[in-house]
Chain A
Amino acid sequence: MAVTKLSIRSLLCLIFLGYCPLLMSAVLPDDKVETLYHSYSGGGVEVTGPSVLVRKKFLDDFSVSANYYVDMVSSASIDVVTSASAYSEERTQYLLGLDYLNNNSRFALNYVNSSESDYEANTASFKISQDFFSNLTNLAIGYSKGWDTVKKNGQSDFSKDANRQNFRVDLTQVITKDFFMVLAVEAVTDEGFLNNPYRSVRYLDPTVVLGYSYQPELYPNTRTSSAVSISGRYFLPYQAVIRSEYRWYQDTWGIDAQNIELGYIQPYNDRLTLETNLRYYNQNQADFYADLFPFQNAQNFLARDKELSAFHSISLGLGANYHFPIHRLGFDKGRLSLFYNYFKFNYKNFHDLRVVTTPGEEPLYQFDADVLRFTAVFLF
């Protein structure tokens, strides 16, 4: 049982238009081996796993990349404990990428496959990046298309399709010798089976002891979203960096969201760098979301996914990077990094059903989460 299925699609969107490669200036990415161990713990959900990324140039103008990523999920989330049973599962993801550099232009092709017991996702993407204006301006345009198959454990004949397209433009502009900004615009369209096959909504039912019963969620078959962000980095006179980001989001399901983030990076000495960041996120609810519907089949579309409810969250991050020389196996230098992030989620209209009382008067749900990331990077 997987209440995080939509997150997989989100990850794939992220991978294709942002993750690989991240910095699309007209140079090929460095040759490297990068490993990550990640851990998420919060709201009854534990997710851990490794990731390995390898990049290597060849024939002067090409670079190939491969990434292996695993999520090992153990979930007893609020959704699971109130309407299903705890579960464990594993998701495996493979990425293959090719970059080609031609003068001031860079082309990137990526393919990703993600597989688990009840969800299969494939995505292909293309991105082109061009430097202009004596390399002070960079324009990157990306497109990706995804084909997902949604399945349901315990029901072998259940199979639904969900297709997705992403369009993205990034404009990066050097403002001064210490400051650059990025304006990003991204549109995403989904079509197909977009809800979770396991999740239910609740509605008032005076015929049962609890006072409410459940029925399956029902989402629209299409969703189109647009997001615009502006971000920047400023190199301070004393060798530190301050960064910031603001993003505005809107979609056809009625969700409006904004987030703002501030970060600070400070070298301690030649080898050690410390960093911190603070992020605030706020969204309203989808048009067809309700914590408690007045009766069965109250609307054409029904949702009680807390990710579609109104809430705000805040996260605080701390991190350290240790750089060191290494002259073995062809490597030139390495870096060890450790990051910790604390999250606090406060829901405005999603109630905690573990508390039994008059329907609709349960306390509002909230939870904390801890995220750990440990990386080891070896550069050729």
Chain B
Amino acid sequence: MTKTILIKVTKIFCLFIPLSMGLSSCSNIKPWVKPYQRQNLADPLMDPAHNELASAYLEHVYEAREGARGATSSGGGGCGCN
């Protein structure tokens, strides 16, 4: 069971890297949101880390009382729009 889950997770991990590399290297796909169009993405309301301590504490409340753990949205990768 453990081995099966680890294999699945490893496969998913391996898919991420070529996916991102592919996006960055594919010359046929141009960035569709220009830098001057990212005002809304950069708005503080769009920032998952806007209330850093408060968000982390609420995730702690969830994890302390639930069997599940990990992959919470507070760990997001950011939109890279700053």
Contact = CB atoms under 8 A, between A and B. Distances in A.
Given A139-B17, A140-B77, A187-B9, A11 B60 contact: yes
Contacts of A53: 52-53
A18 B58 contact: no
A267 B73 contact: no
B8 to A, nearest CB: 7
Interface string A219-242: 000101111110101010001110
Interface string B15-59: 011011101100000011101011011010111111111111111
B60 A10 contact: yes
A229 to B, nearest CB: 4
Dominant secondary structure at the A interface? strand
Contacts of B16: 139, 169, 171, 185
A13 interface: yes
18 contacts: A11-B63, A14-B63, A17-B75, A19-B59, A138-B77, A169-B12, A169-B16, A170-B77, A176-B33, A180-B46, A225-B70, A228-B12, A239-B45, A247-B71, A249-B67, A250-B5, A339-B58, A375-B53
Contacts, number: 279
B75 A187 contact: no
Contact of A34 (B53, B73, B81): B53
Contact of B78 (A24, A188, A257): A24
Interface string A3-32: 010110011011101111111111101000
Interface of A: 4, 6-7, 10-11, 13-15, 17-27, 29, 34-36, 38, 40, 51, 53, 67, 129-140, 142, 166-172, 174, 176-178, 180, 182, 184-189, 222, 224-229, 231, 233, 235, 239-241, 245, 247, 249-253, 255, 257, 259, 261, 265, 267, 273, 281, 283, 286, 307-308, 313, 317, 321, 337, 339, 341, 343, 345, 371, 373, 375, 377
Nearest to B4: A252
A326 to B, nearest CB: 16
- Interface range for B: 35 or more
A259 B68 contact: yes
Interface in B1-17: 1-2, 5-6, 8-9, 12-13, 16-17
B39 to A, nearest CB: 8
B45 to A, nearest CB: 4
Given A137-B80, A257-B68, A177 B75 contact: no
A373 B16 CA distance: 36
A283 B68 contact: yes
Contacts of A186: 70-71, 75
Contacts of B2: 189, 222, 224, 252
A4 B61 CA distance: 11
Contacts of A257: 66-68
B23 A132 contact: yes
B76 A22 contact: yes
Contacts of A371: 58, 61
Contacts of A239: 45
A77 B8 CA distance: 38
A18 B80 contact: no
B62 A281 contact: yes
Given A24-B76, A308-B67, 18 more contacts: A10-B69, A13-B70, A14-B69, A25-B81, A29-B49, A53-B53, A131-B80, A133-B23, A135-B81, A136-B80, A140-B78, A169-B13, A180-B41, A182-B73, A184-B71, A247-B71, A251-B67, A265-B45
